[in-house]
Amino acid sequence: MRFEELPTPCYVVDEALIEKNLNILSGIMERTGAKIILAQKAFSMTTMYPLIGKHLSGTTASGLYEARLGQEEMGKENHVFSPAYREDEIDEIVSICDHIIFNSFSQLEKYKAKALAAGRKIGIRINPECSTQVGHEIYDPCSPGSRFGVRLEDFQPELLEGVSGLHFHTLCQQNSDDLETTLNAVVEKFGQWLPQMEWINFGGGHHITREDYDIPRLEACIRRMQENYGLKVYLEPGEAVALNAGYLVTSVLDMNRNGIEIAIVDTSATCHMPDVLEMPYRPPLFGSGEPGEKPYTYRLGGPTCLTGDVIGDYSFDQPLKNGDRLVFGDMAIYTMVKTNTFNGMPLPAIAVQEKDGNCRVVREFGYQDFKTRLA
Ligand SMILES: *Cc1c(COP(=O)(O)O)cnc(C)c1O
């Protein structure tokens, strides 16, 4: 069907734009020999896994369910990191993950024998205590009191036997200058143990597919680890894989006013784009301007009972009316993976826009998806 015929609300992922991102990432892999894997936390739309798997080396997971998804739907390298593994899941994790990364030496001690006996690579996550993000504490694993990674102070080199890699993840939507700063801290603090390792994982948060991203500097960081320490380098971006590659299409349900013109749409910030409220940010909307920039300004709000379920204020060339369709941009990452049915909100359908422009709905949800999660 055509884009204009899609049901609303609907996430639409654009195959050509995903491929454009993947080509940038595979270029880095080809030039440097580094391996790039998909962090499924940001984007787990399995319909796209065959395409992603053609370009990238595999997947990484934050626990058993994502690890299973990666294994079942992509079936390539399958890494996992969790702040703490459960005893009742570790056997299955060891059976499907080739790289298992631990957040502490106590977890390492607890599960190391099992992982090594199964021939798995094991790593430890380090915390270089190098904050490169300001005013972003909930996304900064180096923030004071963070539960992520072993700090130098707590590092126990006597327990490294069998450990083949170090993992750090400290960035969020950042450029390679911050990676370089972080890598300097990693080398300064943990450099003495790098020669005994086989691999290092730079984590995610690299905004590689963003227009202004400095790829040569990233490649210099990769080569530095390869040349100075003989390490195999992994990167595990989530955002960069599907950045700016999807839309959320919504329809106007009603118009309202309260000191400002208000449009109620059939998608909800809190249910369908929770990062708008959590991050928070104002999502891009095609054909719109800043409030007051174009002649008609509206506050766009969702149909839930939450007062704060507001997507943002936008202006338009023409007045909005019931039935108008609006298209939010950059709605592939951290959207579908975060939806909920709060307040009985229906979940948006999921569609693919193929390279020739044709759209195909791959999943629709209904009342049962709401009901069956509640008892
Ligand atoms: C979130 C996360 C990623 C992916 O981060 P992006 O910001 O989506 O690139 C990678 N590794 C770990 C350990 C993470 O927690």
pLDDT at res. 144: 93
Does one domain contain both 260 and 159? no
Give the separation between CA 105 and CA 155, rounded to whole angstroms: 8
* Within a domain: 327: yes
Closest ligand 1 atom number to CA of residue 239: 8
Q: Is residue 301 part of a domain?
A: yes
Rounded Cα distance between 165 and 202, Å, is 11
**CB-based contact 101:125 (threshold 8 Å):** yes
Q: Within this chain, do residues 268 and 225 fall inside the same structural domain, yes or no?
A: no
d(CA 145, CA 228): 32
Q: Which two tokens stand for residue 208?
A: 């590689």
Q: Are residues 67 and 209 in the same domain?
A: yes
Distance from the CA of 63 to the center of ligand 1, in angstroms? Answer: 13
Instruction: Please check whether residue 19 lies inside any domain of the structure.
Output: no
Q: What is the DSSP letter of 301?
A: E
Q: Do both 265 and 365 map to the same domain?
A: yes
Separation between Cα atoms, residue 69 and residue 104, nearest integer Å? 25
The CATH number for 125's domain is 3.20.20.10
Which has the closest alpha carbon to 56: 34, 72, 71, 41?
A: 34
- Is 172 close to ligand 1, i.e. is its CB under 6 Å away? yes
Spans of the chain, pLDDT less than 50: none
- For ligand 1, whether the C-beta of 141 sits within 6 Å is no
pTM (2 d.p.): 0.97
* Contact of 260 with 325, CB cutoff 8 Å: no
Of the candidates 327, 279, 246, the residue with the CA atom closest to the CA atom of residue 9: 327
In the listed set 223, 242, 261, which residue is the last one of a domain according to the structure?
Answer: 242
pLDDT of the residue at 5: 98
Q: Give me the half-sphere count of Cα atoms (radius 13 Å) on the Cβ side of residue 48.
A: 30
What pLDDT score does 135 carry?
78
Q: Please tell me the distance from the alpha carbon of residue 330 to that of residue 18, in angstroms, as a whole number.
A: 11
Looking at the structure, tell me whether residues 110 and 252 fall in a common domain: no
Identify the CATH number of the domain in which residue 267 sits: 2.40.37.10
17 within some domain: no
Residue 89 maps to a domain: yes
Start-to-end C-alpha separation, the chain: 36
DSSP 3-state of 204: coil
Regarding whether 128 and 200 lie in a shared domain, the answer is yes
- Is residue 364 a known part of a binding site? no
Whether 231 and 263 share a structural domain: no
DSSP H or E segment with residue 268: none
Q: What is the rounded distance in angstroms from the CA atom of residue 140 to the CA atom of residue 270?
A: 22
Task: Give the type of residue at 236.
Answer: E
If asked whether residues 235 and 284 sit together in one domain, one would say no
Name which residue sits closest to atom 8 of ligand 1, judged by CA: 238
Report how far ligand 1's centroid is from the alpha carbon of 171 (Å).
8
Q: Are residues 117 and 233 in the same domain?
A: yes
Whether 184 maps to a domain, the answer reads: yes
Nearest CA to ligand 1 atom 3: 204
- Shared-domain flag, residues 106 and 225: yes
Question: What does the pLDDT read at residue 356?
Answer: 97
Q: What does the pLDDT read at residue 136?
A: 79
The reply to whether 78 falls in a domain is yes
Kindly report, residue by residue over 253-291, the tens digit of the pLDDT.
999 999 999 999 999 999 999 999 999 999 999 999 999
Does ligand 1 have an atom closer than 6 angstroms to the CB of 203?
Answer: yes
Residue-number span of the structural domain to which 104 is assigned = 33-242
38 and 176 assigned to the same domain: yes
* Domain count for the chain: 2
